[in-house]
Amino acid sequence: MENVKIVGCGYARASSKIENEALKKAVDTSDEWIQTRTGIASRYISETENTSDLAIRASQKAIQNAQINTSQISMIIVATCTPDNVTPSVACIVQEALGLNDKPVMAFDINAACSGFLFALQCAASMLQKGYALVIGAETLSKILDWSDRNTCVLFGDGAGAVLIQRAQDGSTMDFYARSKGDKEHALYCAGRSLQPDLENVAQDKPYLSMNGREVFRFAIQAMPDAIYGVLQGQPVEEIDLMIPHQANIRILEYVSKKMKFPMEKMFVNLDQFGNTSAASVPIALAQAWEEHKIKENMDLVLVGFGAGFTWAACKIHIEGGKHQ
């Protein structure tokens, strides 16, 4: 258990809203086909902004929401599997954009795919000593999508979400649970650059994301309950006031809801608007719930995610005394 609390949230949409009907130009699909299988009606695709640009916008909104001085930020962690570059990190780009280059800030990226934000939040909560930690999930998945593959291109979108946390003196707490295992069958996979033989550069094709939907579904419906029960540590699930799950597929959420006897009405769902934004999924949903005043004092909140790797994780947040003012 960590005595930390969220003091501000923000999120950023990518520039172009793509509704299901528009995808008929790229693949053999329809709005009905996509919605009945996934629950997704639209997603946002970035045309001019990279991952760092979305991360910066989400961070600025979180800072404005928290009403803090940026000079008090001592840590920036960005969860992403679609960074701007191999190096420098997105986190360092965000640091520069926020005018923090001359401040004592620790900034780095992590990649745990769709669980990445929860992994990053756990890292920040355990390492934070003073000031504020800025924790971001940001993705431009559109740049690794094969727009001729309807198994993937209909599912994913771009976006970013950010939170600011600080050490809590009011009884607010966070508990964490995180696990991983190797995906030996490459059920959810995007290749990197290959080795260069004989001291020569070799022209390489752009890698695209591939997915075995059946295997990912099978993994997800086991991983989500494991993470939820793991973080609750015996606390009855019915005592949870609000659950914010990774927004991958409505069928996964409905299955978990039924299996755990946890009502869908207590799950915050926005995948119909955003699709699957990987590491950005949970923080975008969290920021929306915060914006819509669904997060209140004396509330027990669970964030839960699963993703490529395979990875899965959950965070239970007890909010004491309401939102930061």
pLDDT at 203: 81
Mean residue pLDDT across the chain = 95
The total of other beta-carbon atoms located within 10 Å of residue 254's CB is 14
Distances (CA, A) of 126 to 53, 56, 75, 133, 175: 27, 23, 12, 11, 10
pTM: 0.95
Residues in contact with 222: Cβ distance below 8 Å, sequence separation at least 6, in sequence order: none
Q: What is the pLDDT of residues 80-113, one digit of tens each?
A: 999 999 999 999 999 999 999 999 999 999 999 9
CA distance linking residue 20 with residue 99, whole number of Å: 39
Is the model's pLDDT at 324 over the cut of 70?
A: no
The conformation of residue 103, written as its DSSP 8-state character, comes to S
Q: What is the pLDDT of residues 4-59, one digit of tens each?
A: 999 999 999 999 999 999 999 889 999 999 999 999 999 999 999 999 999 999 99
Which of the following is catalytic: 65, 153, 276, 324?
A: 276
Q: What is the pLDDT of residues 113-135, one digit of tens each?
A: 999 999 999 999 999 999 999 99
User: pLDDT band at residue 206, thresholds of 50, 70 and 90?
Assistant: confident
Which of the following is catalytic: 50, 65, 246, 324?
A: 246
Which of the following is catalytic: 9, 81, 92, 114?
A: 114
Read out DSSP for 166-187?
Answer: EE-SSS-EEEEEEEE---TT-S
The total of other beta-carbon atoms located within 10 Å of residue 208's CB is 17
Angle at 310 between CA 264 and CA 155, to 5 degrees: 55
The total of other beta-carbon atoms located within 10 Å of residue 24's CB is 12
pLDDT at 204: 80
Residues in contact with 12: Cβ distance below 8 Å, sequence separation at least 6, in sequence order: 54, 55, 57, 58, 61, 159, 160, 161
Q: Is 246 a catalytic residue?
A: yes
CA distance linking residue 283 with residue 9, whole number of Å: 8
Which tokens go with 69? 């001085």
Q: Is 276 a catalytic residue?
A: yes
Is the model's pLDDT at 281 over the cut of 80?
A: yes
Instruction: Kindly provide the b/e burial profile for residues 289-311, where b requires at least 16 CB atoms within 10 angstroms of the residue's own CB.
Output: bbeeeebeeebbbbbbbbbbbbb
Q: What is the pLDDT of residues 33-47, one digit of tens each?
A: 999 999 999 999 999
CA distance linking residue 122 with residue 314, whole number of Å: 9
